[in-house]
Amino acid sequence: MEAPNQTRVTEFVFLGLTDNWALGTLLFVAFSLAYVLTLLGNTLIIVTTALTRRLHTPMYFFLSNLSFIDTCHSSVTVPKMLEGLLRERKTISFDDCIAQLFFLHLFACAEILLLTVMAYDRYVAICAPLRYPNVMSIRVCVQLVLALWWGGTVHSLVQTLLTIRLPYCGPNVIDSYFCDVPPVIKLACTDTYLTGVLIVSNSGTISLTCFLALVTSYTIILVSLRKQSAEGRRKALSTCSAHFMVVAFFFGPCIFIYTRPDTSFSIDKVVSVFYTVVTPLLNPLIYTLRNEEVKSAIKHLRQKQVFS
């Protein structure tokens, strides 16, 4: 007896964050406000850095790139999530799902690599200040940014190809509010154990390796600060503490989700909200409220009526 023909899934249905209309409306308002503030805050940093000559340094060049990535990263998932909060049936086409998955991993990996590069920049600035202009020249900074985008693209292609090679012929309900690899491959009509191991290995290796590199960099920086003056220690600790806060907010959720087998997607959804909605909003707040140079530059541009 012949097996019935298997048809490929053409769309997925999200379970979303909640089925409660009142809670969904409240979340819609809160997350809409967070998204608008994310766009405004990160755009403000990019424009301020571009228009202020004294901020044309490697640190602020990387910071403006971080703001750009945060804007893109948030825009991949938040608009679809907001739409889902207002709709009873939350759907996405198969092709759009794969595209969302690709860009999600592209921007997430690019941010991980950029945070690592920023840690290296601070290491050179604090531990080898005389060599800093040569080591972190504009040419080197541009090459590093191009390299991290290349690395993010390769990583995302691997994740996407491992996902789309699987057959999807049956269930199409995703227990999430966006398309990511773990919940999508769970719907494949085949054994996904090996694929899951490869995906976790790929994402987990990048996250853990970069996180260890960051911890190592900051450990060396903290040790070297003992030789600095009191004022030097204060400035270095202020900059590094802001950077480390961003690292903790972003790496924590990523390591939690991508370095273990998928078990509870309910917990994953809560963690995912943190690094797709909250972290991109916190980054501009951390870097502006704690950074006197950026605040001074914004004030100067306001006086020139650039933002009027």
Predicted confidence (pLDDT) per residue in 224-258, tens digit: 777 766 666 676 666 667 677 777 777 666 666 66
- The whole-number pLDDT of residue 307 equals 55
On whether the CB atoms of residues 282 and 253 are closer than 8 A, the answer is no
Q: Decide if 115 is inside a domain.
A: yes
Nearest to 68 by CA among 98, 106, 97: 106
Domain span including residue 256: 19-303
75 forms bridges with which residues in the sheet? Answer: none
Q: With a cut of 70, say whether residue 265 has pLDDT above it.
A: no
Q: At 77, is the pLDDT very low, low, confident or very high (cuts 50, 70, 90)?
A: very high
Q: Decide if 36 is inside a domain.
A: yes
Q: Where are the alpha helices (DSSP H) in 8-57?
A: 21-51
Return d(Cα 43, Cα 142) in angstroms, integer: 20
Q: Decide if 1 is inside a domain.
A: no
Task: Confirm whether pTM is higher than 0.95.
Answer: no
Q: Decide if 29 is inside a domain.
A: yes
Mean pLDDT to the nearest integer, 266-279: 77
CATH for 61: 1.20.1070.10
Across the beta sheet with 173-174, what order do the strands follow?
Answer: 90-93, 11-14, 173-174
- What is the signed CA dihedral for 223, 228, 230, 236, rounded to 10 degrees? -70
Residue range 32-59, pLDDT digits in tens: 999 999 999 999 999 999 998 888 999 8
- The whole-number pLDDT of residue 2 equals 40
| Single-letter amino acid, residue 195 | T
- The whole-number pLDDT of residue 6 equals 55
12 forms bridges with which residues in the sheet? Answer: 92
Q: Decide if 134 is inside a domain.
A: yes
Q: DSSP state, 6?
A: P
- The whole-number pLDDT of residue 255 equals 64
The count of structural domains within the chain is: 1
